Amino acid sequence: MKICYFDAFSGISGDMTVGALIDAGAPPEVLFDALRSLGTGARFWSGKTMRAGIACTKFLVDAEECPKKHRHLHHITDLIEQGPISERAKKNARAVFERLGEAEAAIHGVPIERVHFHEVGAVDSIADIVGACVALDLLGIDEVHASAINVGSGTVKTAHGMLPVPAPATAALLQGKPVYSRGPEMELTTPTGAAIIAALAVNVGKMPAMRIASVGYGGGDRDFNDHSNVLRATIGESSSALESTLVSVIEANIDDSNPQVLGYALEKVMAAGALDASLSPLQMKKNRPGSLLRIIAKPEDQERLASIVFAETSTLGLRIHTAERRVEERNIVEVETQFGKVRIKVSGNGFAPEYEDCRAIAESTGTPLPQVIAAANEAYVKTRK
């Protein structure tokens, strides 16, 4: 799987995203041809520049001669659909604009069909969003990840007047995502950049395990003294052998649930895709005995599993944090025993019979489970001699 990880230590905007992807290897002329196919009349180019000593690529859009007008969502999606770009790029671009529309609709209390996109409806912003999606497609990216987002601080001038940073649309789009403020008092993350992350990133947090293939830097408009105003895009292949992977840990302290209910909840989350789940005894406040429910999950599964915990237990709150999970490469071999075939999990110098296989054999043959496990271990050891 090919991954793109955006390191937004100086925020993220649409043009920084396109610049970083070009710098990481997306062919600019192919990208510009795709943008010209939209028929906006804008002109596009990119070039090398410096930001606090870091060489980066700046993506520029010349839309001076294009009509400046507000657009509704259907105007923009129609524009995207007419371009001869890949279906995946079209799908991603529509998803980004739909997230923007949802955020604006919620802020202004109107249906999404009535939202005027203002700044994000301008030709340069359409080029930024479509350009980012086309560039990701040209690079063959399967998954987008991102770091915690630096949103900046101070105030920003918008179509609705002066507003605090992050702008309302940016704040709405980044709900549930880790953000912080560092650096000069100005907007570092724009609604366009926030929408790209909200719509396309499968996780916002630590860099996933990968083998790095290329790194690109997209330059922002300003050059700061205290840090490089760039967005970094790291491109690589996902890796599973002896490396850390990113997981979400979901925890709840529970002191008023029936043990049978907790056991059922444990089975439900495992069936729903949890990587692991456990219950531990806990001594809670006022000396009440309780249980600690802990679930290890893929980041993309955390919300679904959290909803199961709320539905199936009495807890009113959860803790969710990101952790590294060290995964050792493993493979499965099958051995023949006198009771039947059993799969063996093999990792490094260790091995273990698959419990469910041994259990099924024990139940179907009436053989004690320890005897089945011992037979499987013996059969595997013989295969290694």
Which amino acid, 207? M
Number of separate domains in the chain: 3
Q: What is the pLDDT of residue 115?
A: 74
Do 250 and 313 have their domain in common? yes
Antiparallel, parallel or unpaired: β 340-347 and 210-219: unpaired
Do 213 and 279 have their domain in common? no
Do 175 and 227 have their domain in common? yes
Do 339 and 305 have their domain in common? no
Dump pLDDT digits (tens) for 213-232: 999 999 999 999 888 999 99
Nearest to 4 by CA among 32, 34, 25: 25
Which of 327, 353, 372 terminates a domain? The answer is 327
Task: Give the SS3 label for residue 45.
Answer: strand
Q: What is the pLDDT of residue 104?
A: 84
Q: Whole-prediction pTM value?
A: 0.66
Which of 238, 258, 290 terminates a domain? The answer is 238
Do 204 and 323 have their domain in common? no
Which of 194, 210, 238 terminates a domain? The answer is 238
Do 85 and 181 have their domain in common? yes
Do 345 and 270 have their domain in common? no
Q: What is the pLDDT of residue 247?
A: 84
Computed from CA positions of residues 234, 240, 244, 245, in that sequence, does the dihedral angle turn out positive or negative?
positive
Do 169 and 231 have their domain in common? yes
End-to-end CA distance of the chain, in Å?
Answer: 36
Angle between helices 87-108 and 191-200 (to 10 degrees): 120
Residues 207 and 136: beta-carbon distance below 8 Å: no
Contacts (Cβ under 8 Å, ≥6 apart) of 341? 334, 335, 357
Q: What is the pLDDT of residue 241?
A: 46
Q: What is the pLDDT of residue 70?
A: 65
Do 16 and 134 have their domain in common? yes
Contacts (Cβ under 8 Å, ≥6 apart) of 146? 5, 6, 7, 8, 12, 197, 201, 203, 204
- The domain of 86 spans 2-238
Dump pLDDT digits (tens) for 72-101: 788 888 888 888 899 999 999 999 999 988
The one-character DSSP state at 208 is P
Task: Give the SS3 label for residue 358.
Answer: helix
Do 266 and 141 have their domain in common? no
Strands (E), 160-242: 161-164, 179-180, 201-204, 210-219, 230-238
Do 63 and 153 have their domain in common? yes
Do 103 and 218 have their domain in common? yes
| Ranges of the chain whose pLDDT falls below 50 | 241-242
Report the CATH number that the domain containing residue 313 is assigned in CATH: 3.30.70.1380
